Amino acid sequence: MDGIAPLPGSSRVGPAESSALNATTEMKAHLGEAGSAVMRFSESRHAFSLDLILVPSACRGAGLGTALIHRLLAIADAVGKPVHTTARPIGQSSAEIVDRLVAYYQRFGFVPVEQGFRAVHMKRPAPGGAAAR
């Protein structure tokens, strides 16, 4: 975890070693009365999975989601693993909302790999094109 700065007002709960296998980690950015933004991810032997990201509606569009995702990508890149996720809106969903989420993840280097029902499975390859599973 060296070199990865903590988010202001954030806490990290879970296994400390990013090399641990089958580990689930939750990061929270505390936002006072608005609650907290949360990101949950897991790590297996060959890849990370971004399982949940949720920013309170009153705090969206201010870069919090980006900051949290960058933390995960820094951890994944440090150990050379790809990151999988599924663009599946929490709450209200439509083709347009899914498209917006897909475009959002594409900004971070995720590419669509499979279309599901109101969901798109995506993968961000490991840096340097390391083998991804």
Ligand X SMILES: CC(C)(COP(=O)(O)OP(=O)(O)OC[C@H]1O[C@@H](n2cnc3c(N)ncnc32)[C@H](O)[C@@H]1OP(=O)(O)O)[C@@H](O)C(=O)NCCC(=O)NCCS
Residue 14 has which token pair? 């879970």
**88 is an interface residue for ligand X by CB under 6 A:** yes
- Between 12 and 70, whose beta carbon lies closer to ligand X? 70
* CA 124 to each of CA 42, 47, 91, 130: distance values in angstroms, whole numbers, following the listed order: 15, 10, 24, 11
Using CB under 6 A, which of the segments 2-10, 13-21, 71-79, 100-108 binds ligand X?
A: 100-108
Q: Report the residue from 6, 63, 80, 116 that binds ligand X according to the rule CB under 6 A.
A: 63
Q: Report the residue from 66, 79, 115, 131 that binds ligand X according to the rule CB under 6 A.
A: 66
Amino acid identity, position 51? D
- Between 34 and 62, whose beta carbon lies closer to ligand X? 62
Q: Which residues bind ligand X (CB under 6 A)?
A: 53-55, 60-66, 87-90, 100-101, 103-104
